[in-house]
A = this chain, B = another copy of it.
Amino acid sequence: MRPTVHDIAAAAGVSLATVDRVLNQRPGVRLVTREKVEAAIRQIGYIRDVAAANLAKGRVYPLVFIVPTGDNSFMHGLRFEVHQATLRAGIERTDIRIIEVPPFDVPALAAALDTLQGHDIAGVALVATDAPEVSAAVDRLVSERIPVVTLVSDLTDSTRHHYAGIDNIAAGRTAARLLGRFLGGRQGDLTILAGSMLVRDHRERLQGFSAVMAEEFPKLRLLPVLEGRDDPELAQSLVSEALAESQDIIGVYSLGAGNRGLIAAVKAVRSTRELTVVVHELTQHTRAALQDGTIDAVLNQDAGHEVRSAVRVMKATADGQAVIADQERIRLDIFLKDNLP
């Protein structure tokens, strides 16, 4: 049987009340007594029974998720997963509120963060647009001892407690190697479709992609990045235009969302030219395109994992508890047509 507070009391030769004062950092304990108790805790290897403690406290964790609006499939999926998390609220003792803000809108995001100040909140998760105003707003929350987790896209120079998302530089590098090797030594141009250079994840993917291309695939030339704002229609017109302009394009890398438009553009020219295509985010559209051969590989982050991880980290941080680091590492999924889930 694992030791309880009673065992600590006995081992330290003090009363239960004193043990409680030490454990919950209540005042009124002499330093020598506190140290005696802490020594006993370490010595008998006491671990607080979090379930019992939460039961006694009647604790609930009021959490806030700030997610972008926008009708691309990825954000749709992310909002769905947050919604799923609300359905588990009862059993997880969470109370999740969802705030939607326009995508890439720095003032709106900063304002949304600032409304949370002073409230009784156990954690905030946000899809960050990487701007100093946002970092500053996050820092204000952190200084109020509110756990903050960035989701999907991280912040530069921020005091946020955790980032629940993939390593986007590695993702970009991986995309480059896949595209490069799949093209097998051919020479030609590549067109790159991003959402916005305002978000760190897109910038980092591009950075990783460019680095590997430059180092290892000198025969492939990168055309200027197209910014599709994760909007399917804009993406389609940009890509169609680029493909019409240059017949040397032999590969496409889409590092953002809005791939529905990209797929339409590629399909439109498919009968006349052969393109190797690597995109991000597995959605119903990219899945179908992977299966029918329009796309060659999909890099993915599992939004469900990210949301569940964010919840676990916020709860643990709120309690000053440790997490299984390895379990919270969000992995880059690579899907070929053969290993679709």
A positions within 8 Å CB-CB of B: 2, 47, 49-52, 54-55, 90-91, 167, 170-171, 173-174, 176-178, 181-182, 184-185, 208, 212, 296, 304-305, 308, 324, 326-327, 329, 331-334, 336-341
Chain B residues whose CB sits within 8 angstroms of the CB of A50 once the complex forms: 91
Chain B residues whose CB sits within 8 angstroms of the CB of A173 once the complex forms: 338-339
Closest B residue by C-beta to A305? B327
Report Cα–Cα, A212/B326, bound state, in Å: 33
State whether B339 touches A167 (Cβ < 8 A).
yes
Minimum CB–CB distance from A133 to chain B (whole Å) comes to: 32
Given contacts A184-B185, A327-B308, contact A174 B51 (CB under 8 A): no
Oligomeric state, in copies:
2
Given contacts A177-B336, A326-B304, A338-B174, contact A51 B47 (CB under 8 A): no
Minimum CB–CB distance from A326 to chain B (whole Å) comes to: 6
Closest B residue by C-beta to A47? B90
State whether B47 touches A91 (Cβ < 8 A).
yes
Closest B residue by C-beta to A299? B339
Chain B residues whose CB sits within 8 angstroms of the CB of A340 once the complex forms: 170
Minimum CB–CB distance from A312 to chain B (whole Å) comes to: 11
Q: Identify 18 new A-B residue pairs, CB closer than 8 A, beyond the known A47-B90, A167-B339, A308-B324.
A: A49-B55, A49-B91, A50-B91, A51-B51, A51-B54, A170-B338, A171-B339, A173-B339, A176-B338, A177-B336, A181-B182, A181-B296, A182-B182, A208-B338, A331-B333, A331-B341, A332-B339, A334-B334
7 CB-based A-B contacts, threshold 8 Å: A2-B90, A170-B338, A178-B336, A181-B181, A308-B327, A331-B331, A331-B341
Report Cα–Cα, A231/B324, bound state, in Å: 32
Q: Name the residue in A47, A174, A296 with the highest tally of chain B Cβ atoms < 10 Å from its Cβ.
A: A174
State whether B338 touches A177 (Cβ < 8 A).
yes
Closest B residue by C-beta to A341? B329
Minimum CB–CB distance from A296 to chain B (whole Å) comes to: 8
5 tightest A-B contacts by CB? Answer: A184-B184, A173-B338, A51-B51, A334-B334, A170-B339
Q: Name the residue in A212, A296, A332 with the highest tally of chain B Cβ atoms < 10 Å from its Cβ.
A: A332
Given contacts A90-B47, A91-B47, A181-B181, contact A327 B304 (CB under 8 A): yes
Minimum CB–CB distance from A138 to chain B (whole Å) comes to: 26
Minimum CB–CB distance from A311 to chain B (whole Å) comes to: 12
Report Cα–Cα, A44/B230, bound state, in Å: 42
